[in-house]
């Protein structure tokens, strides 16, 4: 690594995009991931679709309880 870097030709905000939505990675414990992958395969769904359905169902249950 160099002692100093020259940023004099840099452009502030060059890659900044207002209102960009980032998808954050979610890391599951191996046993949970194996369960989800197996279930998704049995149902013919991709993992993202299955996880989103499960989360929506959990949100619905929590709303009904409150």
> pLDDT tens digits, residue range 12-64?
999 999 999 988 899 999 999 999 999 999 999 999 999 999 999 999 999 99
Gyration radius from the chain CA atoms = 21
- What tokens appear for 30 in the block? 């191996």
pTM: 0.65
Residue 34 sits at the vertex; the CA angle it makes with 33 and 36, to the nearest 5 degrees, is 65
Categorise residue 10: left if φ over 0, alpha if ψ from -120 to 50, beta otherwise.
beta
**Residue-level pLDDT at 46:** 96
């Amino acid at each position: 690594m160099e002692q100093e870097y020259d940023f004099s030709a840099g452009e502030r905000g060059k890659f900044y995009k207002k209102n960009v939505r980032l998808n954050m990675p979610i890391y599951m414990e191996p046993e949970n991931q194996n369960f989800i992958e197996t279930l998704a395969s049995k149902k013919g769904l991709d993992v993202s679709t299955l996880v989103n359905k499960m989360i929506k169902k959990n949100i619905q249950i929590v709303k009904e309880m409150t």
